[in-house]
Chain A
């Protein structure tokens, strides 16, 4: 850890701005006491290396993790979540190297499941993607600050995103397991309800899905399908995986029709998509064989091209407040990345576990 000498700068907040050690918002100047509290929460040993963060490949020691968490405004008890999220983001399948450098507006979305959500006071209800909750806001911010400083994802420098997105400040939610009619996401993927987990997916910001009229599963899901069925997002042309967040009122309606999570994901997969003629612009720019889509898709004008290769590539969550007939579709970056689910201790879900109402495959 580099500890610079005492600075003459009176205002430490301004000093951190001047060094470009900030996401553009004021940071909390770290103190030895605050850093020590986070390192304790991580298990001690400040020099212990947790991860190497691409593309700069800076070393994320517990000390550096703690410095960034303090600067982002995190409490020490958020430490296991931030650490697990960084382990997930730095696992090879996620391809953080590409996520950080691409021209696309992608940002990692973090979804937290299990008891830790409540223990640290995360918001999974009203305004779940919005502001106003310290845990959601500062966990997501700490991750972004680590991607910026340790990972070197500086805008215009290594980060070549054409437009970026507001999700590049903070993008962290918890599943509303209490209100959901279904098993939580991590249970669907083979964990126990008592496990806590982090799920990361490289994705766009959420796209709102309104439906105030349908009183059955098909109606609500057809609106989500409408949001999914466009040639504008990366899934349409580059496959990969995506997320769907169902609001509690919509979830209740779907569940009242007797549908399981599995039914929902299959229905979405079966009915969302584009015709190949739309993706190929009716050959306006010559005959196109899109090599970023699976080779087993038919390249014929009337063929239906699914948004993602399988229903298991649709990651389904229930989140949001109890009032309001809204859901959200969250397009992914494409086949260049795979989402990652880890237990809060950083271990992978047991592939041999029984999976309730779904699949063990990520």
Chain B
């Protein structure tokens, strides 16, 4: 979240991926760091043990959210 917020303050729209279990942490961090408007892109936990096919599914969950985070329609 720190990296994303630093990039946003330097003018770069940034999509930040977070898994479901870390969503709350991400929200607390954005409050603590003062950028309440940043919306993380949420994918289902976990990632570390997934097969390639399962990773494709996680990517599909994220696509529209990423476009939205970047300001696209």
Is A–B contact present in the complex under a CB 8 A cutoff? yes
Nearest Cβ on chain B to A190's Cβ, whole angstroms: 31
In chain B, positions 17-50 with a C-beta closer than 8 Å to chain A are 21-22, 24-25, 28-29, 32-33
Judge whether A55 and B22 touch: CB under 8 Å. no
Q: Which residues of A contact B25 (CB under 8 A)?
A: 55, 101, 158, 160
How long is the Cα–Cα vector from A152 to B24 in the complex, in angstroms? 12
Contact bitstring A235-248, B, C-beta under 8 A = 1, else 0: 00000000000000
A249 to B55, CA, bound (A): 53
**Nearest-CB residue, chain B, relative to A103:** B21
A158 near B32: Cβ-Cβ < 8 Å: no
Residues on the A chain within 8 Å of B21, using CB: 160
Within the complex, the shortest CB–CB distance from A11 to chain B, in Å, comes to: 31
The answer to whether A152 and B22 have CB atoms under 8 Å apart is no
Contact A57 B24 (CB under 8 A): no
Tell me whether B32 and A57 are in contact (CB under 8 A): yes
> What CA separation (Å) do A57 and B32 show in the bound complex?
6
Whether A160 contacts B22 by the Cβ 8 Å rule is yes
Residues in A whose Cβ lies below 8 Å from that of B2: 97
Query: Using Cβ atoms and an 8 Å threshold, which residues of chain B touch A160?
Result: 21-22, 25
B21's nearest neighbour on chain A, judged by CB, is A160
Which among A55, A56, A152 has the greatest number of chain B C-beta atoms within 10 A?
Answer: A55
**B25 to A: closest C-beta gap in Å:** 5
Could you tell me how many residues of chain A have their Cβ less than 8 Å away from some Cβ of chain B? Answer: 10
Which of chain A's residues have a CB closer than 8 A to the CB of B29? Answer: 55, 97
Query: A119 at the A/B interface (Cβ < 8 Å)?
Result: no
Contact present for A55 and B24 (CB under 8 Å): no
A157 within 8 A of B: yes
A57 to B22: give the CA distance in the assembly, Å: 17
B-facing residues in A156-189 (Cβ within 8 Å) = 157-158, 160
Taken residue by residue from 94 to 115, chain A's Cβ proximity to chain B (1 for < 8 Å, 0 otherwise) reads as 0001000100000000000000
Contact with B along A21-57 (1 / 0, CB 8 A): 0000000000000000000000000000000001111
A160 to B28, CA, bound (A): 13
Cβ of A54: which chain B residues have Cβ within 8 Å of it? 32
Q: Which residue of B lies closest to A55 (CB)?
A: B29
Contacts of B32 in A (CB 8 A): 54-57, 152
The CB with the most chain A CB atoms within 10 A, among B22, B24, B32, is that of B32
CB closest residue in chain B, given A159 = B25
CA distance A234 to B48 in the complex (A): 15
Q: How close is A174's CB to chain B, nearest CB, in angstroms?
A: 33
- Of residues 132 through 155 on chain A, the ones whose CB sits less than 8 Å from some CB of chain B are 152
A157 and B24 form a contact (CB under 8 A): yes
Distance in Å from the Cβ of B19 to the closest Cβ of chain A?
11
In chain A, what residue has the closest Cβ to B32? A57
Return the chain B residue nearest A52 by Cβ: B32
Shortest distance from the beta carbon of A55 to any chain B beta carbon, whole Å: 6
Residues of A with C-beta under 8 A to B33: 57
**Residues of A contacting B22 in the complex (Cβ-Cβ under 8 angstroms):** 101, 160
State the CA gap A160–B33 with chains docked (Å): 20
The smallest beta-carbon distance between A104 and chain B, in angstroms, is 13
B-chain residues with CB within 8 Å of residue A152 when the two chains form the complex: 28, 32
Closest 6 CB pairs of A and B: A57-B32, A101-B25, A158-B25, A56-B32, A55-B29, A158-B28
A56-B32, A152-B28, A158-B24 known; 13 new pairs, CB 8 Å cut-off, are A55-B29, A55-B32, A56-B28, A57-B33, A97-B2, A101-B22, A101-B25, A152-B32, A157-B24, A158-B25, A160-B21, A160-B22, A160-B25
Residues of A that sit less than 8 Å from B by CB: 54-57, 97, 101, 152, 157-158, 160
21 contacts between A and B (CB under 8 A): A54-B32, A55-B25, A55-B28, A55-B29, A55-B32, A56-B28, A56-B32, A57-B32, A57-B33, A97-B2, A97-B29, A101-B22, A101-B25, A152-B28, A152-B32, A157-B24, A158-B24, A158-B28, A160-B21, A160-B22, A160-B25
